[in-house]
A = this chain, B = another copy of it.
């Protein structure tokens, strides 16, 4: 059965206090839901997205032939996260360029497009905004929060910010914070964007231009880090585009160059430069252990959820070692943790791909969730002040 998706939006007038000390008001969040919320409202699953994704997680829009949902392999009728059993919510984060309020929208306080003035948002801010969305949907407790990469950071942060509002966290290809190398790659991408003359300090909208050069470079760098060395060698190796060397420094010689340029071009056509800065910064900042002098065990002590963590052997951006750090910290806290390290050649990208072992692990975990009684009697803490546990 084809899953039909309907984009929706929820408007929030009350100001949302942000971790930076700023606040944002009059914003809206784009979201989609799949499946049916059950009578006791206990089967909701929130999906958090990573850098280049949105609320459109799965399914097709009316009239579309093929799904463009970014996790369509994972979510839908009969799929590992089965929308015949679960009420799945995809939400687009604040600052994105895919529907929720972002830098290209008008700041109600000034009447002008935010541009570079869009407030810096963090994983914690996103989670607070998501919690308000759930309030609006009348969902007190989630069966699970799930995400990969930056989405996994949100799932982890949910367990710390709203420990009573979720029963399970599914954290895929993620990390408890970025390494220096991760930050370094983000910084290269940001500098490429910010130093593009078409960036105009972030206010390029009013100049009618887009810093495409910078966005292309940012995407090319990112793309390299999403793939493994092995899969790049297997897919492209040293293949020449035209069979013979042309001896040129500016034109394409190798297939890998062609591929990267294509990815960069495509990305620069649709992604917002300010959003890229905001999202990479949210990645940089995330670090629950900053409040416990780097002690991750202490940092995760507040978590009450049960956990599934998944990592991929060739992911060098968020390596299995980073997932094991989280597993160890959770076990130190006597949490219920399942962990799968998937032998996959595709690097970080693997979390978005159709790997049978990976999908089977998630399927089994969600079958377990479906078979558990909902803890409807558990004390539910609502309307925690935003940032209360920070």
Contacts and interface: CB of A to CB of B under 8 A. Distances in A.
Nearest to A20: B247
Contact of A285 (B188, B194, B245): B245
A224 B181 contact: yes
Contacts of A254: 180, 183, 187, 284
Nearest to A189: B217
Interface of A: 19-22, 116, 119-120, 177-181, 183-185, 187-188, 190-192, 194-197, 202, 213, 216-217, 220-221, 224, 227, 229, 232-233, 235-238, 245, 247-250, 253-254, 256-257, 260-261, 264, 274, 277-278, 280-281, 284-285, 287, 290
Contacts of A247: 19-22, 119-120
Contacts of A19: 247
Contacts of A261: 187, 191
A363 to B, nearest CB: 33
A227 B250 CA distance: 27
10 contacts: A116-B249, A188-B220, A188-B260, A191-B217, A192-B192, A238-B290, A245-B285, A249-B274, A249-B277, A254-B284
A288 to B, nearest CB: 12
A21 B246 CA distance: 10
A193 to B, nearest CB: 9
B220 A256 contact: no
A254 B224 CA distance: 22
Nearest to A287: B238
Contacts of A181: 224, 227, 229, 232-233
A160 to B, nearest CB: 18
A352 to B, nearest CB: 19
Contacts of A180: 229, 232-233, 235-238, 254, 256
Contacts of A195: 213, 216-217
Nearest to A180: B232
A92 B233 CA distance: 32
Given A180-B256, A191-B264, 10 more contacts: A116-B249, A187-B254, A188-B220, A191-B220, A192-B217, A196-B213, A197-B197, A245-B285, A249-B278, A254-B284
